[in-house]
Structure 1
Amino acid sequence: MKAFTTKTFAVAFASLFLFSCERNADQDLVEPMQASQQQDLRGYDPTTCNLVQSFGEGELPRKANVIEEDGAVMIVKAQRRGHNGKYLPETEAVLLDAHDPATDLVNFMDARFDGMSGLLTVGDESGLKANREGGRITLDFSPVSSVTMKTMVFTDIAEEDKGSKVALYSRTGQLLVQKEIPANGKNEVSFVWFDNVPEVAKAVVTFGAERSKTGSGAIARLQMCAEGQGRYDDARYQDVRTLWLEYTGQQPANVTVKSMQEGNSGNVVFEAKGMKPGTVFKIAASEANSLGESLEIGTQRGEKQLIPVKADPAASLKKAYGNFRVVEARCSNYPLKLEE
């Protein structure tokens, strides 16, 4: 009898333990993603400095005109699109609860697994629901000067919302890059990767094609680095593969950039006519072509500057070469520390 009791107790304890493990596993599957689990988020970039996925604190739904989270601060404005295709006056944006079925912007499982809580969108006339007739949201990063944009995550870009897009602008209003948001389907998640676009002062997200009378969706996550934040590489142990430059001259110029190798006259890797002061541009190596030993930047006025891009741990890049400011240079995933 004693042996039977001991065995029964052991089986009961094991069953309880297994049940507890299964219960915990189930809970782990449905719990929203915590900050300590960032590396498990789909599409998470480990070089991210500022992860925005709850869009601040407070009860949902609520209106929002300033968002602050994880060291990032931005001013937010929304505009609905009128029946004539033109945009109505700016209003506050709306934050909706990703886990409330009434929100109807994301499916339950994606909201759970992708750690979503608040969804930033254009509100309808009531200001408490998502607008379905087209609109746009403007994110103004001027409180932190500018950011390097890495990834934006969207929800509910369906086939009828095709033509939805996100555009990134510099401080001078220059369009740095524009990408269409994939129309993955109603309540589905869409990722847009930017490959480290620096100097972003403003992002404009448009739901639905311009002039269209339909268009809905929401911003679910931002991955970026506010100006001055993040880890830097202190030395060029590898060749520079990506370089962002800003033209700081006083007058428009014709700009030519050549990839220089010892013993040749150089291959043209970038060319622009009438470049305006404040223009930011990118030069990148490809699988087939490196940037050589140095880059020669010239203008029609006879100016020539050499930027060394070959691996050299003993020498750093400067922040400025004549009328060209180095905005960002990368050999790896992290930007190089620049010399004053």
Structure 2
Amino acid sequence: MKTFSTKILALAAASLFLFSCERNTDTDSVEPMAATQSDNLIGYDPTTCNLVQTFGEGTLPRTTDLIEEDGAVMIVKAQKRAQNGKYLPETPALLLDARDPATDLVNWMDANMLAISGLLTVGDGSGQKANREGGRLVLDFSPVSSVTMKTMVFTDIAAEDKGSKVELYSRNGQLLEQKEIPTGEKNSTVIVSFNNVPNVAKAIVTFGDERSKVGSGAIARLQLCVEGQGRYDDARYQEVHTLWLEYTGQQPANVTVKSMQEGNSGNVLFEAKGMKPGTAFKVAASAATALGETLEIKTQRGEQQLIPVNADPNASLKKQYGSFRVVEARCSDYPLRLEE
């Protein structure tokens, strides 16, 4: 998991702050940097299409079950965790003001450095504070079909919140990615990168271990690309290094993916038995393995598909190869434009 701690930068900024105080003790506190200055945001991924940082418009605090910002639309629900470990019925999520000390979810240094304004969390029922007894947020991206998840920024995942996690699901309920959120100091922030997981229809953020009676935190930023948006590479000037595929057959299948070079089969890159229709999977090059010139996909029913992944600026990948749909292919940081 790729994470980024603001502790070192915070210490440096604190030194500058103390120096400025010596020069002018009457200076007002610095307002957080405008979220529109995306290029200057710490942890900002330049391939981001949709930046969710204020979580819509309106006074804070407030409850909400729908967020719309920068072209992204999502339904949001919150659930508190009961003493028996089960979850209570869904309620609207709570949005708190990061600059209000009463919020008690992020320190002023991190709020300023990361331009944090709104914090999305599970409320305690008062409409003014975060729940501290364990809970989860459900982000439903069905209003825009699905998204490619890039980065999430979290606050206040302290030692007692160990076991907090993020789960990303596809439209058919398949778990695409699960990551534990690293813990830090109280009211600090952590940036978690998902390295471009496409086809995400729902994200569930759990605060605290599900076997625990404690757990709190908040989402401070989402960086993503709504399906069909963003910049694309028009040609394969480089070899494809990452490929997401979806099995679209009618019956479960045993699937094997091999690399091919000059017509000869190479390493097995992916293998699964009884793959269900609608299952998405990732094939990626690494230091130890390469995708070769072509990917060979076989099933136990004799189906064989060849997907060219070598550099060829005169030929694009197709969206469909037999029973396999190309969800996303990358030669660079940006996805490759696919042919119908």
| Fold conserved between structures, TM > 0.5 | yes
Specify the alignment match of 1:178 in structure 2.
178
How far apart are 1:184 and its partner, in Å? 1.0
Answer whether contact 1:80 1:131 (CA < 8 A) is retained: yes
Sequence identity (%)? 78
Q: Within 5 A, what are the aligned runs for 1:65-104? A: 65-104=65-104
Contact 1:30 / 1:113 at 8 angstroms: preserved in 2?
no
CA distance in 2, matches of 1:304, 1:198: 25
Name the counterpart of 1:268. Answer: 268
The aligned runs of 1:120-269 (5 Å cut-off) are 120-262=120-262, 264-269=264-269
Report what 2:280 is aligned to: 280
Partner-residue secondary structure (3-state), 1:109 = helix
**RMSD of aligned alpha carbons:** 1.4
Report deviation, 1:125.
2.6
Give me the whole-angstrom Cα distance separating, in 2, the residues matched to 1:123 and 1:55.
Answer: 16
Q: Any runs of at least 4 consecutive aligned residues in structure 1 with deviations exceeding 3 A, and if so which?
A: none
Q: Does 1:327 align with 2:327?
A: yes
TM-score w.r.t. the length of structure 2 is 0.91
Q: SS of the residue aligned with 2:264?
A: coil
- How far does the alpha carbon of each residue in 1:178-222 deviate from its partner, in whole angstroms, 9 at most, with x for none? 000010121000111000000000000000001210000000000
Q: Is the 8 A contact 1:86 1:211 kept in 2?
A: no
Q: C-alpha displacement at 1:224, in angstroms? A: 0.2
> Do structure 1's residue 297 and structure 2's residue 302 form an aligned pair?
no
Distance 1:30 1:308 in 2: 53
- Determine if contact 1:182/1:191 at 8 Å carries over to the other structure: no
1:80-121: CA deviations, max 9, x gaps? 001111100000100000000000000001111111111000
> Would you tell me which structure has more helix in proportion to its own residues?
1
Cα shift at 1:307: 0.1
Listed one character per residue, the Cα deviations across residues 253-277 of structure 1 (whole Å, up to 9, x for unaligned) are 0000000011533221100000000
Aligned to 2:12: none
How far is the alpha carbon of 1:40 from its aligned partner? 1.3
- Gap change, CA 1:324 and 1:263, over 3 Å in 2: closer
**Separation (CA, whole Å) in 2 of partners of 1:204 and 1:312:** 39
- Return the alpha-carbon distance in structure 2 between the equivalents of residues 288 and 268 of structure 1: 12
Partner SS state of residue 148, structure 1 = strand
Secondary structure class of the residue paired with 1:184: coil
Does the Cα contact within 8 Å between 2:121 and 2:217 map onto a contact in 1? yes
**Could you tell me which residue of structure 2 aligns to residue 14 of structure 1?**
none
Inter-partner Cα distance in structure 2 for 1:286 and 1:232: 23
CA contact (8 A) 2:238 2:310 kept: yes
8 Å CA contact 1:240–1:331 kept in 2: the answer is yes
Q: Which amino acid aligns with 1:277?
A: P
Counterpart amino acid of residue 188 in structure 2: E
Q: Aligned letter for 2:325?
A: R
Structure 2 unmatched runs, 5+: 1-19
TM-fit CA distance, 1:39: 1.4
SS class of match (1:30): coil
State the TM-score, normalizing by the size of structure 1. 0.91
Which blocks of at least 5 consecutive residues in structure 1 are unaligned?
A: 1-18
Correspondence for 2:17: none
Q: Contact conserved, 1:249 with 1:323, CA < 8 A, in 2?
A: yes
CA contact (8 A) 1:134 1:216 kept: yes
Paired amino acid for 1:261: Q
Question: Residue 257 of structure 1: SS of its match in structure 2?
Answer: strand
**Structure-1 separation of matches of 2:90 and 2:294:** 47
Mean Cα displacement is larger for which, 196-205 or 255-264? 255-264
1:74–1:142 CA contact under 8 A, matched in 2? yes
> Could you tell me how far apart the structure 2 residues matched to 1:234 and 1:326 are?
15
**1:312 corresponds to 2:312:** yes
Q: How many residues of Structure 1 are paired with residues of Structure 2 in the alignment?
A: 317
Amino acid corresponding to residue 180 of structure 1 in structure 2? E
